[in-house]
Amino acid sequence: MENQYDVIVIGSGPGGYVSAIRAAQLGYKTAIVEKYSTLGGTCTNVGCIPAKALLDSSEHYHQAKDQFKTHGINLGDIHLDFSQFILRKSDVVKQNTAGLVYLMKKNKIDVHQGVGSFMDATHLKVTGDNKETILTGQYFVIATGSKPSSIPGVTIDKQRIITSTEGLSLPARPASMVIIGGGVIGVEMASVYARIGTEVTIIEYTDSLIPTMDKELGKALFKTLSKLNIKILLSSKVQAASNTGASATVNFLDPDGKEQAITADYCLVAVGRRAYTDGLNLQAIGITPEKNGKIAVNKQLQTIVPNIYAIGDVIDGPMLAHKAEDEGTFVAEIIHGLKPHIKYDLIPSVVYTWPEVAAAGATEEQLKAQGVVYKVGRFPYMASARARASMDTDGFVKVLVSPQYGEVLGVHIIGPRAADVIAQTVVGMEYEITAADMARLCYAHPTYSEALKDAFLIATGQGAINI
């Protein structure tokens, strides 16, 4: 039958499209269901990809304005064309979504546009523009992702009280912005706007930026963001936010419990995301989301309905695009009878500020809480010849190593190209390469990754050898 499939994937974000492609590669007749007019989900359209485009553009502007003279480059009057700034970001998104359309056609995956709603465990109703289609599937993969969440007292109106989605497409450069939340999204959006001249204030509830990562990384990031004149208020509890017409006012309690207020052009809410399962009609298949809105799965990422799987932001674990991608491949291969595996503790976390922040494995706080004995190897980028050459000397590499067997327990980097450098350490930890062996590898000189070599040398009792 025309609308009968082996595998039907609901949601076309990184988890969904990767799962569909892998299923098709394994020989399954596959369909993907997407409620929006473009493929790619949050990451491609209003998340990872457009954010990185603006982060790169804003860093180029910042360097041209504040650093090029030191390099001997004099550009004269420098100004930002905000419309082009946003337009380039949109062009990058269009290129990526067009690439996904090509991949669907290449792999003979049918795309059905509309909201997917379960009728039973083998039938899905897709409701689009004045059209309903019934799809029959042997297996289903729920990959519907997440939406921005808020906190009590703060209602997102998408006008003055906005999320990162609206923050990626503002009509003009704001003079000021208050960001609620100092996690990954908050510090990235703060970086974008502070670099182009917006007066930015971050209000964070905990006592550290990027609080889920190693505390030393948060402290170092605080220092480097402060150099951009970002005002950072830690241990502060937001009570309310209100749209005052031409601006937004945020009321909060400072660390001493005193009431304070800040008014800015926009209030950007970046307090996390919630699993999105609206419209799926999960009750029709006997699935009830947990209290946090997520779907429970077993180790095979299978729901309580044997032929229905869930991946990505709708299940437990970090809300990361690459985590969803790995799970998408995992499920397709499980369906095929293969035996894939995912080491969740080795999924890297990355913050695309500049310098970048990246980590894999355990934090120092986690090892202390677990009573694990460890050694620390720390090497500053200030001592790196490559970093000095590029004027990127903020940050460090920190490796945590077991003294008994030399096992690498965790790696934490804040520095230039940390997002790329972390990949080497993930390979090492995945295949249980010791810290001594990581130090013995030949690293090209001069490179940012040499800081890893020196950190491992220090952790194993030797001294750093590079400059």
pLDDT digits (tens, 9 = 90+) for 228-253: 999 999 999 999 999 999 999 999 99
At 410, the pLDDT band (50, 70, 90 cuts) reads very high
Question: Residue 122 sits in a domain of what CATH number?
Answer: 3.50.50.60
> Does residue 332 belong to any structural domain of this protein?
yes
Question: Residue 438 sits in a domain of what CATH number?
Answer: 3.30.390.30
Say which of 60, 112, 322, 445 is annotated catalytic.
445
Residue 381 has pLDDT above 90, yes or no: yes
Cis? peptide before 355, omega within 30° of 0: yes
Q: What is the pLDDT of residue 63?
A: 96
User: 110: how many CB neighbours lie within 10 A of its CB?
Assistant: 16
- Do 313 and 378 share a structural domain? no
Structural domains counted in the chain:
3
pLDDT tens, 161-197? 999 999 999 999 999 999 999 999 999 999 999 999 9
- Do 136 and 15 share a structural domain? yes
- Do 303 and 283 share a structural domain? yes
- Do 183 and 94 share a structural domain? no
> Does residue 156 belong to any structural domain of this protein?
no
Report the C-alpha gap between 162 and 200 in whole angstroms: 14
**Residue that is last in its domain, among 344, 376, 406:** 344
- Do 283 and 295 share a structural domain? yes
Confirm if 111 and 34 have CB atoms less than 8 A apart.
yes
Mean pLDDT of 46-60: 97
Q: What is the pLDDT of residue 68?
A: 95
- Do 372 and 281 share a structural domain? no
Q: How far is CA 190 from CA 201, 255, 269, 339, 404, in A?
A: 8, 21, 11, 42, 42
Range of the domain at 37: 4-148+274-344
**Residue that is last in its domain, among 226, 245, 271:** 271
62 is catalytic: no
At 412, the pLDDT band (50, 70, 90 cuts) reads very high
The more confidently predicted of residues 335 and 462 is 335
- Do 286 and 143 share a structural domain? yes
- Do 369 and 257 share a structural domain? no
> Does residue 467 belong to any structural domain of this protein?
no
- Do 194 and 262 share a structural domain? yes
Q: What is the pLDDT of residue 1?
A: 56
> Does residue 465 belong to any structural domain of this protein?
no
Percent above pLDDT 90 for the chain = 97
Q: Model pTM? A: 0.96
Kindly tell me the burial class for residue 75, based on how many C-beta atoms sit within 10 Å of its own C-beta (0-12, 13-18, 19 or more): exposed
> Does residue 254 belong to any structural domain of this protein?
yes
The more confidently predicted of residues 461 and 30 is 30
The chain-wide mean pLDDT, for the chain, equals 97
